[in-house]
């Protein structure tokens, strides 16, 4: 069925994420990508609503020459799901929504899965436009006083499928946000294990973040 044309922005975004989740289940190429990363885990896929954007979203939208279609497409452009050209922002990507405990989506991450077949210079990591909001796997903050903090969502999901469920991710080395700090303090997290990439950028960012957290009374 087509997406509801009169939906508010959050409902429209949720409908798109639901559609990408259904598309994921019918797309062997993204399932193979997850397999190659050791992430083919049914509970991970369902719990975190993993999806796949494959250029078919437009067929689920009302026609753009109709008022309802123009309105909904405009809304999805404002959110960042569609670009000004009308193309899907996350096309060719594994899609991971960042949701709170009530299912409100505050951010969406996309990871291109084609790798070497992409045009040179194509960004492999995509987000919605604007500042990053929200914390992935916020439920973990209620269940543990210790949180593993990764540099990227793929890394965090790798911990998760291996049984380390008390894990979340920054948005890159410079992507630890006010949302992350607020969640740590709100849930009285005692200790953060910073698991950034072991390269120069990761080591430097981890050291700076450790100092910032210690100043907030977090080990």
If one counts every other C-beta atom within 10 angstroms of the C-beta of residue 192, the result is: 21
Residues 67-106 as b/e (b if ≥16 CB within 10 A, e otherwise) read: ebbeebbebbeebbbbeeeeebbbbbbbbbbbbeeeeebb
pLDDT at 117: 64
Could you tell me which residues come within 8 angstroms of residue 9 by beta carbon, excluding any fewer than 6 positions away?
A: 75, 78, 79
pLDDT at 115: 60
Could you tell me which residues come within 8 angstroms of residue 161 by beta carbon, excluding any fewer than 6 positions away?
A: 38, 39, 41, 44
pLDDT at 68: 73
pLDDT at 67: 78
If you count them, how many residues does the chain have? Answer: 219
Ramachandran category for residue 126: left, alpha or beta (phi over 0 → left; psi -120 to 50 → alpha): beta
pLDDT at 163: 97
CA dihedral defined by 206, 208, 210, 212, rounded to 10 degrees? -140
pLDDT at 106: 96
pLDDT at 1: 62
Cα separation, 106 vs 131, whole angstroms: 10
pLDDT tens over the chain, length 219 residues: 667 777 799 999 999 999 999 999 999 999 999 999 999 999 999 999 999 999 999 888 877 767 777 888 999 999 999 999 989 999 999 999 999 999 999 999 999 998 656 677 678 899 999 999 999 999 999 999 999 999 999 999 999 999 999 999 999 999 999 999 999 999 999 999 999 999 999 999 999 999 999 999 999
pLDDT at 118: 62
Query: Contact at 8 Å (CB) between 169 and 151?
Result: yes
If one counts every other C-beta atom within 10 angstroms of the C-beta of residue 127, the result is: 19
Residues forming beta bridges with residue 29, ordered by sequence position: none
The token pair at 118 is 């992409």
Cα separation, 108 vs 127, whole angstroms: 6
Cα separation, 73 vs 60, whole angstroms: 11
């Amino acid at each position: 069925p087509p997406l509801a044309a009169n939906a508010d922005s959050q409902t429209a975004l949720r409908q798109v994420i639901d559609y990408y989740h259904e598309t994921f289940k019918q797309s062997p190429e993204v399932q193979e990508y997850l397999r190659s990363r050791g992430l083919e885990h049914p509970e991970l896929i369902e719990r975190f609503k993993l999806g796949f954007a494959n250029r078919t979203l437009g067929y689920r939208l009302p026609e753009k020459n109709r008022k309802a279609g123009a309105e909904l497409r405009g809304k999805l452009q404002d959110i960042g799901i569609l670009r000004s050209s009308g193309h899907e922002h996350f096309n060719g990507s594994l899609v991971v929504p960042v949701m709170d405990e009530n299912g409100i989506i505050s951010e969406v991450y996309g990871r291109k899965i084609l790798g070497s077949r992409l045009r040179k210079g194509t960004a492999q990591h995509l987000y919605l436009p604007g500042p990053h909001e929200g914390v992935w796997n916020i439920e973990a903050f209620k269940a543990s006083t210790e949180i593993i903090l990764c540099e990227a969502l793929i890394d965090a999901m790798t911990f998760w499928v291996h049984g380390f469920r008390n894990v979340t991710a920054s948005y890159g080395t410079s992507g630890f946000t006010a949302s992350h700090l607020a969640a740590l303090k709100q849930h009285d997290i005692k200790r953060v294990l910073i698991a950034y990439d072991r390269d120069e950028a990761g080591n430097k960012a981890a050291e700076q973040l450790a100092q910032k957290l210690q100043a907030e009374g977090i080990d």
